[in-house]
């Protein structure tokens, strides 16, 4: 993709399913709140991902600012909602340099976190980095609300997809991220991601080389919704993918008074519900699963610039 083609994608932005149609080059802003130059809050070796991603040397993680989904309970709220402006703007060449620097630091992979609203630039950045010597896998870490057309631009460039599947219920997704169509959009996105990577491949060191890890953060009081998500994932993909069942939901509204969490989200997840969901996953026959031992969440995150 040439510079001119990249720019044109931001001029009438239909990059994600929000389809805002704004001109991000001339100052227009859609739901994601971002202009046309990717803002990177922090990039670092990250040890808080699943073991097949973080390994022993860490995942070379690049945290992008902004988000097109903006869940009201976001565990990365600092950079997804606040649009701190503390991040640094990079063009495709600059992003490629970051990937190569992380590879130099012996990262197992490059891990692009919430980059969906910058896909045209990401496409170009990976091409440049590959030409300049990037050999480690590239992972695309996403809230699962991506457009299939945009994902197709990443075909052949992404080795590992790490999408969320957050909700089954439309009223729930409407209430928590104003996306009534979340489940349908996510199902289509996961199909496209899986089409690109195929079944998971783990090397002799226990590291993922290609494939898909679908994450589901359990929310308090939503065990039925969780089971519907697990039914779908196991029925559709089974052990060709990994499922990461996450229990670290933390009501961060004490930090951010404007979050206005509904009552059912103002508590931690009952760990009995987590155990029940983990058992359900096992009953469904899912062997490729990551189950967490404890519920500590915040220390899994790096210190963002806020
Ligand atoms: S990427 Fe941002 S501006 Fe473009 S359609 Fe999505 S939310 Fe709207």
Global pTM exceeds 0.85? yes
Contact 18 CB / ligand 1 (< 6 Å): yes
Distance (angstroms) between ligand 1 centre and the Cα of 57 equals 34
Q: pLDDT tens digits, residue range 177-228?
A: 999 999 999 999 999 999 999 999 999 999 999 999 999 999 999 999 999 9
- Closest-CA residue, ligand 1 atom 4, reads 13
3-state secondary structure of 244: strand
Residue 79 has what pLDDT? 72
Q: Is the pLDDT of residue 85 over 70?
A: no
Distance (angstroms) between ligand 1 centre and the Cα of 40 equals 17
Q: pLDDT tens digits, residue range 110-126?
A: 999 999 999 999 999 99
Q: Does domain 30-300 have CATH number 2.60.120.10?
A: no
- Read off the DSSP letter of residue 64: E
Mean pLDDT, the chain, whole residue set: 92
- Closest-CA residue, ligand 1 atom 5, reads 19
Q: Is the pLDDT of residue 299 over 90?
A: no
Plot region of 206 (φ>0 → left; ψ -120 to 50 → alpha; else → beta): left
List the beta bridge partners of residue 62: 43, 112
The ranges assigned to domains in the chain are 30-300
Residue 34 has what pLDDT? 95
Residue 261 has what pLDDT? 83
Contact 68 CB / ligand 1 (< 6 Å): yes
Contact 22 CB / ligand 1 (< 6 Å): yes
- Closest-CA residue, ligand 1 atom 3, reads 30
Residue 298 has what pLDDT? 47
Residue 260 has what pLDDT? 74
């Amino acid at each position: 993709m040439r510079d001119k083609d990249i720019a044109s994608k931001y001029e009438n932005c239909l990059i994600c399913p929000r389809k805002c149609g704004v001109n991000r080059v001339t100052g227009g802003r859609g739901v994601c709140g971002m202009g046309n130059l990717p803002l990177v809050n922090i990039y670092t070796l990250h040890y808080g991902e699943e073991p097949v991603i973080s390994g022993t040397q860490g995942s070379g993680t690049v945290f992008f600012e902004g988000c097109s989904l903006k869940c009201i309970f976001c565990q990365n709220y600092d950079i997804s909602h606040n649009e701190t402006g503390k991040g640094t703007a990079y063009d495709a060449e600059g992003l490629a340099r970051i990937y190569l620097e992380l590879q130099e630091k012996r990262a197992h992979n490059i891990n692009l976190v919430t980059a969906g609203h910058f896909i045209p630039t990401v496409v170009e950045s990976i091409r440049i980095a590959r030409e300049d010597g990037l050999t480690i896998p590239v992972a695309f870490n996403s809230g699962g609300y991506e457009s299939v057309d945009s994902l197709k631009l990443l075909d052949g460039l992404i080795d590992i997809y790490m999408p969320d599947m957050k909700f089954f219920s439309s009223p729930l997704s409407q209430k928590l991220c104003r996306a009534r169509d979340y489940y349908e959009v996510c199902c289509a996105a996961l199909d496209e991601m899986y089409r690109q990577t195929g079944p998971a491949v783990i090397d002799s060191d226990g590291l993922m080389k290609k494939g898909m890890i679908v994450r589901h953060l359990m929310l308090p009081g939503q065990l039925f919704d969780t089971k519907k998500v697990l039914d779908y994932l196991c029925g559709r993909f089974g052990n060709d993918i990994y499922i990461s069942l996450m229990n670290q939901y933390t009501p961060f509204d004490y930090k951010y008074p404007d979050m206005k969490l509904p009552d059912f989200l103002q508590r931690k997840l009952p760990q009995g519900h987590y155990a029940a969901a983990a058992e359900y996953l096992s009953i469904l026959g899912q062997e490729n699963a990551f189950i967490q031992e404890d519920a500590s969440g915040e220390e899994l995150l790096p210190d963002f610039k806020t």
